[in-house]
Structure 1
Amino acid sequence: MSLPRQLRDESDFDQLPNDVPISATVADIEEKKGFIVYYQFVIEVKNKGGSKYLIYRRYRQFLTLHQSLELKFSPETQMATYSCTLPTLPGKVFMGKKQEIAENRIPELNTYMKKLLSLPTYVLLEDVVRMFFYQSESDSQQIPRTLRRLRPPTRRVKTVKTKPDLLSSPRAEAMFDFSATGKLELSLRAGEVIFLLRRVNADWLEGTVRDRTGIFPLSFVKIIKPLPESDSEGEGKTSSGKMGPPAGSYSCLRCYLHQGQDIETRDVCVEEELSTQPAYSDLLTLMREVFKLEDIALNYRDPEGDLVRILDDEDIELMVVEGRRHGSAVKRPVNQFPWQLHVTLASDLSVYSTEF
């Protein structure tokens, strides 16, 4: 009898920890607006102890998990101490609408997770597997929107729209017109009343007007009735006791556009964690949308203050590492990335201290 088979036979399922996942089903997909628009899968997990909870995962997290398991358990790798046949993960799709791609992946991912959780117990006890299905603090703080795949088909949901109380709701009046530059932002017209939802950071608020919700700069409005103190700070304490952004808040990226002697500063808010390392292609696409320019180059400042051009994901990694290393010395809002982007015209080499 092979050692992997023997290990599985000798393992007593009843002796496994209660937090080991035994089933997982995609309940829905949700659109997120990060460095690019993407979809995450809302997954209902059931563990051996009988508990159910929701986790939120992107396709690339499935891919990272699968690649880690291939390195450790695939019969083809020399690193495999024990081997087993892993389920097939649906491959990357490079063409098509993102929502349709995500929808089409749901049955394939359900099959993948079902087969994965049927593998020998030594696979289920792997840290990468347990952490993938673990409900993190971020997962527990998210509020699912529909969970339509878990809803019985005969159930009818009645939506009741309520009008805000004009006298008691936190609100502000737009003093100037504001044109949104991204999908997260809320366009305003001077004189409009905006009902406030929360403070994103010291400079941005989130609110609703004309049945639309988004973020807008505080400097464009006059506060009529402020948010409650608990919602107006835009900050909370993390588990380590340090100040940090509240659950579900946006992270802000400070970026600069250099054109000759002119420098335009822009804060771009995205639904990404501050620890996220973006892809070069995603940042390039985002900056083209923000500044409405195509032929641009991305850069960051090194510790000496010189601009360094970014050409690929490895350069992004260097920028993030440098930002985290020196970011603590710079005072900035708690939800602002420790690294900053400097955007220049691709043909402009005069901004560099040395030529390429």
Structure 2
Amino acid sequence: MAQVPKRLMTAVNVDRAEKRRVPSKHYVYVIEVTWDDGSETIIFRRYSKFFDLQINLLETFPREGGLKDPSTRIIPYLPGKILFRRSNIRDVALKRVQSIGEYCKDLIKLPDYIVQNPLILDFFETKPEDLKSHETDNTTNIKSWKKDSIDISQPILPEPYVVTKDYEKTQAKELSSR
């Protein structure tokens, strides 16, 4: 029996971040997904799910992730993890909306053999938690981003570095590399 091909994304738009209170306080990114069959869905993903996807993509496609040769990298960079105090979580979520949106748009522009990989297809598919009712007492819309809005500043992405030789730290503020 022939396997039915999965539908593909034709567009993604990260509209905003929303606060969730269940099972604990956290923020999700609201992602509108348009599919090649003409359907549209809205999914909600935490930053940690994006991070997991990125790690899995780099492990599955090491060449495309620039593991050995950074010049071969085609997998987009995910905005980095940020260590922050509890009071800054909202600000970090708001600042990431645009860069997470660009990341999603860049993902679906990758070559077919990557975009059609279950890692990406499953990430953008609707999950049971996306279908649950999100009543106003469970969520708080913290910001709607308009396309014509001007951002005063954007996150500064760190320059990627390639380790060429092992290094043992000699001071507490340094990092060892292998």
Fold shared by both chains (TM-score > 0.5): yes
The aligned counterpart of 2:74 is 85
Pick from 125, 128, 133 the counterpart of residue 119 of structure 2: 128
Q: CA RMSD in A?
A: 3.0
Q: Percent of aligned pairs with the same residue?
A: 26
SS in 1 for 2:11: strand
How has the CA–CA distance of structure 1 residues 136 and 56 changed in structure 2, closer, same or farther, with 3 Å as cutoff?
same
Residue 23 to residue 138, structure 1, CA distance change in 2 (3 Å): same
Aligned residues: 134
* Change over 3 Å in CA distance of 1:144–1:19 after alignment to 2: farther
Structure of higher CA gyration radius? 1
Equivalent position to 2:26, from 38, 44, 48? 38
1:139 equivalent to 2:130? Answer: yes
Aligned-pair CA distance for 1:84:
5.2
The residue aligned with 1:94 is 83
Alpha-carbon spacing, 1:35–1:137, altered in 2? closer, same or farther (3 Å)? closer
Q: Distance in 1 between matches of 2:82 and 2:30?
A: 20
Look up the match of 2:42: 54
Q: Normalized per residue, which structure has more strand?
A: 1
Name the CA distance, whole Å, in 1 between partners of 2:100 and 2:84.
19
CA gap 1:100/1:61 in 2 versus in 1, 3 angstroms: same
Contact 1:71 1:77 in 2 (8 A): no
1:111 and 1:151, CA in 2 relative to 1: closer, same or farther beyond 3 A?
closer
Report how far residue 54 of structure 1 moved: 0.4
Structure 1 residue 36, shift from structure 2 partner: 4.4
Shift of 1:18: 6.8
> RCO (CA 8 Å, sep 6+): is it higher in 1 or 2?
2
Normalising by the residue count of structure 2, what TM-score does the alignment of the two structures yield?
0.65
**Match for 1:73 among 61, 64, 67?**
61
* Match in the other structure for 1:25: 13
**Structure 1 unaligned residues grouped into runs of 5+:** 1-16, 154-356
2:104 maps to amino acid: M
Q: Can you give the 5+ residue segments of structure 2 that lack an aligned partner in the other structure?
A: 150-178
What residue is the counterpart of 1:351 in the other structure? none
